[in-house]
Structure 1
Amino acid sequence: MRMDVPTLYGLTVGTLCLAVAMTLWERKAHPGRAGPLGIWASAYAAFALGCMVMMNRSSLPGVLGMALTNVIMVTGYLLVLHGAIRLDGRGRPLLLTLPLVAISVVWTEFGARYGDAFWQFGGSLPILLVSFATAIVLARSRALKGLRSRPLAIAVHLVHGLFYLGRFAVMPFLAEAFGPEALALSAKITMFEAVLYSVAMPAAFLALVREEAQDRLLAASQTDYLTGLGNRHAFFERGAALMRDKNALTLLAFDLDHFKSINDRHGHAAGDEVLKLFADVARAGLGSNAILARLGGEEFAALLPGMGANEARPLAEALCRSFAMEAAKAEGLAIRATVSVGLAEREPERPDLQRLLSAADQALYRAKSLGRDRVEAAAPAIARAA
């Protein structure tokens, strides 16, 4: 099939219409991203409309066809940028109308005199600027941090912006040197690039949304719903990675004292509040480096990387005091609640997480038997052997 410019226009329009349909369908599956996906679908529709106007621009009077095409296309690019901004919950749509006003003024004031030059070269300037801006927004997005598909989405817009930078900066000299043949070749290359862009851009955005949703599902599967802490699965997965590190490592095993009595006497709602309170106190007391999890029921555990037993014990004792104080004065709670803690430091005789947790559990049982509301440390393996 001969790939002339009208054929490439038709292929681009068809690809964009398919992108609209796919994006709107995906929007139903990701209600949390309905905003950006709806905006991007509108952008693809604007691109398709712009291509159709472009194919029929000669039927419109004067420079109206060129001006209308340019305004519609830039509208599409601004919608793409707006959708990227909305990923972080931001966005001021009114600010995005300013470039459209500026372009309309330029066409109104100078279109009759410089319309052809602006169509061939000047129209590339807003496209390259918005494409670079979109790449920057994606690179700085907090919502997309860590996603493997983010570099792909950034690259799509960077390459597109660089292509239009070439049209803006280089094509005037090539047109002057080689005449109409250069312009005809440029038009065909531009439409080839447009086809690739109309495929790559929607695919990159859908990859971002799907990967983000997958990461949320994974995080939810490893998070305790009540406290927001990691669950048992997350604890063992992250803990296994820490066990491979050769630095100091201490495990704290927690068990809330008389928790069944709290549930029986004050109700399960109060028990849930006690669990959430302990999670909050432990988060604040152990710091951001700790791997803290609810293992089940009233049992919690924490891994303290880079910390030996001598450093971890005062931290655990301070946590016990803080929890008892906070539970006693918490508004709507005012319950006597305490916690017992078992502590174990990693040693060669405890090479895996399960053995380390078992040693901390034994120390925890000793804390329970000695009166609760206290911290007990597992005896070093060498001392036990002696």
Structure 2
Amino acid sequence: MTNTLFTIYLFIVVTLVASAGMTLWERNAQPARRRFLGTCAAGYAVLATGCVIATTRTHIPGITGAVLSNLVMLCGYMVVLDAVAALDGRRHRGKSALLLGGMAALWAWGGAQWAVWTWLYAAAVPIALVCLATTWEAWRSPPLRTLRSRNVLIAVTGFHGVVYAARALVLPGIVARFGQGAIELSSTVTLYTGVLYSVVLPMVMLALVREEADAGLVRLATTDHLTELGNRRWFFSEGAELIAAAPGDLALLAFDIDHFKSINDRFGHATGDKVLKSFALILRDVVGPHALLARIGGEEFAIMLPGYDGQGARRVGQAVIDRFADSAVLCRSGVAVSATVSVGLAELGNTGRDVATLLGLADRALYAAKTLGRNRLEPALVALVQPAMAVA
């Protein structure tokens, strides 16, 4: 092994060991991803061990050094794959064991006779497969889809896998055409790819965890913990952006569950919470994914419907009224508890283009609906010609 290759190997080993240490340190600050970070650190440590063996393989009798180096490094890549797959509750341990056993069997069968061929070409195949499987897991993992660092993870593991695939499939033809000098060049390219992998991958893994933690804090600050809908702050912020971008129709529906205080007083707050959760589920089911849904008060909810005129919003509101009236939850005593909801409708028009104005109009219409008997929807125009009354 030349001094240059040895230096590159040494750099990779030091980087991986340092990354393992930093990752273990980060575990204390990220309890939700403690197992993920621990698995990543183990993967880096195993890869570093494989690289150490690779630097000394020529001093180990026979093909033992090459076999150990290849299999240990392959294990390291498999541990990284398992860490990424586990983010979505999947495991590849059975497949990894088969692949590792197959590579070990290949070394045992032909390693002594074709040691160079096995080291240069065959040993690259399982590494390529594992790296590309890691890319696929990162691509398909729902927990990673909203994280920007995911794209870097896909790029670095995918590129690493492609390089090893090219080493197995393309390099033999290049060597046959250009001679043995291509082998040394290929080894250098592979090692520099390893440098990229050892430096970037640990950084990306830490970035994923921190980005996920930050996103979790944002969700806590903008989500109602009981119904998992947006909260009032989120509704006003997102609603302002939606109104500013609205090219045409937009409607807002305000909801207030009728006699909700009586439900709490009679059946208890646990039953009241069930009623709120049930109503939130109905809202989600009726309005679909393109509306803004929020719990803006105790039993008060609001949805903003881009692209809906008054008639379309009325149909949505009436569907919610009907579905909720037909639903019921069970209290602790087993009694089925049902409730109704009153709805106010406001449309985006000449009355103002801000959330507060639109919600104020919808609230006035909502209280008009309560005055007129509850379990109904009233538009803002009706509310404007009737005195608003605060009815519980």
**Separation in 1, partners of 2:102, 2:355:** 63
User: Which secondary structure does the structure 2 equivalent of 1:348 belong to?
Assistant: coil
Tell me which residue corresponds to 2:326: 325
Alpha-carbon shift at residue 64 of structure 1 (Å) = 0.7
CA drift at 1:105:
0.6
2:110 match: 110
1:139 aligned partner: 139
Work out the CA distance in 1 between the residues paired with 2:135 and 2:164.
14
Contact 1:327–1:333 under 8 Å retained in 2: no
Letter in 2 for 1:291: L
- Please state whether the residue corresponding to 2:264 is helix, strand or coil: helix
CA contact (8 A) 2:251 2:306 kept: yes
Deviation at 1:21, TM superposition (A): 1.1
Which of 12-21 and 90-99 deviates more? 90-99
Deviation at 1:329, TM superposition (A): 7.0
Determine the C-alpha separation between the residues in 2 that align with 1:279 and 1:108.
62
Summarize deviations over 1:301-359 as a string: whole Å, max 9, x none. 11122222112223323322332332477784534532221111111333222211111
Distance 1:277 1:185 in 2: 65
CA distance in 2, matches of 1:64, 1:336: 74
Given the two structures, how large is their TM-score scaled by the length of structure 2? Answer: 0.89
Q: 1:369 to 1:383 in 2, by over 3 A?
A: closer
- Which residue in the other structure is 1:337 paired with? 339
Counterparts of 1:195 and 1:285 in 2: how far apart (Å)? 52
Paired amino acid for 1:313: R
CA shift for structure 1 position 10:
1.7
Greater Cα shift, 221-230 or 275-284:
275-284
**Pairwise CA distance, 1:41:** 1.4
CA-atom RMSD in angstroms: 2.6
1:120 matches 2:92 = no
In the alignment, the residues of structure 2 paired with residue 360 and residue 322 of structure 1 have an alpha-carbon distance, to the nearest angstrom, of 21
For 1:50, the aligned partner's letter is G
Q: Residue 63 of structure 1 contacts residue 111 of structure 1 at CA under 8 Å; is this kept in 2? A: yes
The answer to whether the 8 Å contact 2:271/2:330 transfers is: no
1:35 CA drift (Å): 3.1
Over 3 Å counting, the alpha-carbon distance change for 1:328 and 1:196 in structure 2 is closer
- Residue type of the partner of 1:295? I
* Structure 1 residue 235 displacement after superposition: 1.2
Structure 1 counterpart of 2:158: 158
Aligned 8 A contact 1:349 1:381 in 2: no
- Which residue matches 2:198? 198
| Counterpart for residue 262 of structure 1 | 263
| Structure 1 residue 17 displacement after superposition | 0.5
Return 5+ residue gaps in structure 2 as ranges: 387-392
CA change 1:181–1:316 in 2 (3 A) is closer
Question: Using a 3 Å threshold, how does the CA distance of structure 1 residues 47 and 317 change in structure 2: closer, same or farther?
Answer: same
Change (3 A) 1:212 1:285: same
Match of 2:381 among 357, 379, 382: 379
Match of 2:310 in 1: 309
Distance of 1:330 and 1:284 partners within structure 2: 23
Identity of aligned residues (%): 45
Q: State the distance in 2 between where 1:337 and 1:158 align.
A: 54
How far did residue 193 of structure 1 move? 2.7
Q: For 2:142, give the aligned amino acid.
A: R
What's the offset of the Cα at 1:47?
A: 0.7
Task: Pick closer, same or farther for the CA change 1:318–1:129 going to 2, 3 Å.
Answer: closer
1:349-360 matches, within 5 Å, as 349-360=351-362
SS of corresponding position for 2:326: helix
Q: How does 1:3-82 map to 2 (within 5 A)?
A: 4-82=4-82
Q: Which amino acid aligns with 1:354?
A: A
Over 3 Å counting, the alpha-carbon distance change for 1:66 and 1:293 in structure 2 is same
Contact 2:368-2:383 within 8 A present in 1 as well: no
How far is 1:166 from its partner?
A: 3.5
